Structure 1
Amino acid sequence: MDQSSLYTVFVYGTLKRNQPNHHYLSTAEFVSEATCCQKFPLVIASKYNIPFAIDKPGIGYKIKGELFSIDQQTLAKLDELENHPTLYERQVHSFETADGKMIEAWIYLLREYKPEMLELEFYESYSSEGSHGKQYVPRYSRDTELKPANI
């Protein structure tokens, strides 16, 4: 990859290694496990059991996830997957890597959400096969497209 056009992205849900959408990062380079320096509510919601990090800083947990180095083409694919800027908004935040370094990276946060989503259980980390019992439903198995109004 051309180093001049690389971006660092923090993933916390289905894009992480060994998760259902990790194939979107097939050309990405794993950087480190990391923790968000700011608290955000991470919930599992909708009939598709989607992990959402809600753009409501200061509540929830410092989310644990993974940092990847990606190119412009992969960033565009992620923007499409995350429906940026309509559903999620890509923002720059600070993250602490596994070895204690601070890194600025992109994170996708849910901008518009139903207030009752903040009443759901908050998670510090996500796995589709987690003890929560809410397995993610991939896009190809869904009957409708996800829009802000039906989250």
Structure 2
Amino acid sequence: MSLNLHAIVRQAINANYADEKFKLYRSVGQKNVGGIVQAYYAPPEEIQGNFQSEGDSALDHANLAGQNTIIRRLYLYASSDQKQRPWAIYRPLARSGDYVEDSKGGQWLITAVIEDFSDAGWEAVRCTFQTTPQKLNIVEEEDESTKSDPEHPDSDPRIS
């Protein structure tokens, strides 16, 4: 049994800054449609977590210090099940492409997985606020007859 430090400090954090509910849109791949590459997302699911400011040194290290954007660190409860984590598809450099929608309808693009302790129940991701609302292409839930090949997301029969 591992010690879940996140569960220990979460009570103190929530006493000052309550968790929020978010909608998570998991990236399920992309497809070239008429010469335009379009991203596709699973239907939203509800998750909990809270935003914290991203420090200057972390942004400088990630070469993001000079950007004129709103960047936050988002701490999330996470499942140890890879299919339930707030970053569905493993990508080199831990980049995601998933979106989080806050309670006010703001969209945040997950640009990095900073800390992945999902086996212990939490993770931290870096999010960038989207000043222009994004139209997300949502695909229906898959069943056994429509499962795609994870090695080839372009072969996904749900994306037409």
- Give the TM-score taking structure 1 as reference length: 0.35
Taking CA–CA contacts closer than 8 Å with sequence separation of 6 or more, which of the two structures ends up with the larger relative contact order?
A: 1
TM-score, length-normalised on structure 2?
0.34
Tell me which structure has the larger Cα radius of gyration. 2
Higher strand residue share: 2
